[in-house]
């Protein structure tokens, strides 16, 4: 008889963030370190290396532990789809540590209990995506306000050296190639072309 194994999944959005609290919580549940999969990637979709490896390893009868529903993902539709695949198709139990209602190991639940769990999952998934959309909207509004106040984003434009005019004229008269001109000015070929196009339009 197959004895189900315990797996854990942890995720942070950026390489600067730490997943320590998630790892401690998973270890306290008895998940072996070799069965804990970690991604440092946005939760907008499930195209994540560690998550994909984990899905390939889990088998019917196993249990997957996650700290909170937003560690699984932030896309409402995809969270529900992955939940269905794991629990219904792969027959693997899921335990969300921060939400005891989301524990599919409980075999003795009545229909009302299962309905409540399903509703909780949908609400939490919706909240996770709404929060992400709100953050994105707030960032876009902040950028718009900054631009309106004259703040510039991206790399500052490279200043043209004093000898540009002379080199440009030589290039325009056909006395020098664009690559030779860029080498003489010490800039990339595309930079010289951009400067030349700008000079021609004036």
| Catalytically active residues, by annotation | 13
Give the CA angle between residues 59, 44, 20 to the nearest 5°: 70
C-alpha distances out from residue 84 to 95, 116, 173, Å = 14, 16, 68
Token representation of residue 114: 């299962």
Q: Which residues pair with 38 in a beta bridge?
A: 10
Strand pairing class (6-12; 63-66): parallel
Q: Which residues pair with 94 in a beta bridge?
A: 64
Strands (E) located in 13-155: 36-40, 63-66, 93-96
C-alpha distances out from residue 166 to 181, 183, 195, Å = 10, 14, 13
For residue 9, give the H/E element and its range. strand 6-12
């Amino acid at each position: 008889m197959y004895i189900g194994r315990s797996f854990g999944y942890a995720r942070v959005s950026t390489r600067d963030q730490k997943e320590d609290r998630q790892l401690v919580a998973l270890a306290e549940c008895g998940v072996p370190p070799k069965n804990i999969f970690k991604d440092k990637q946005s939760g907008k979709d499930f195209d994540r290396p560690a998550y994909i490896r984990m899905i390939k390893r889990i088998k019917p009868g196993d249990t997957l532990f996650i700290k909170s529903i937003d560690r699984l993902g932030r896309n409402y539709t995809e969270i529900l789809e992955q939940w269905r695949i794991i629990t219904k198709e792969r027959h693997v139990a899921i335990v969300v540590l921060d939400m005891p209602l989301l524990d599919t190991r409980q075999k003795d639940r009545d229909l009302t209990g299962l309905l409540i769990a399903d509703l909780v999952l949908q609400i939490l998934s919706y909240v996770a995506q709404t929060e992400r959309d709100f953050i994105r909207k707030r960032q876009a509004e902040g950028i718009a306000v900054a631009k309106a106040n004259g703040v510039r984003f991206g790399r500052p434009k490279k200043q043209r050296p004093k000898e540009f005019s002379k080199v440009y004229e030589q290039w325009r008269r056909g006395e020098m190639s664009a690559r030779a001109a860029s080498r003489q000015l010490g800039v990339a070929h595309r930079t010289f072309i951009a400067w030349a196009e700008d000079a021609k339009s004036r």
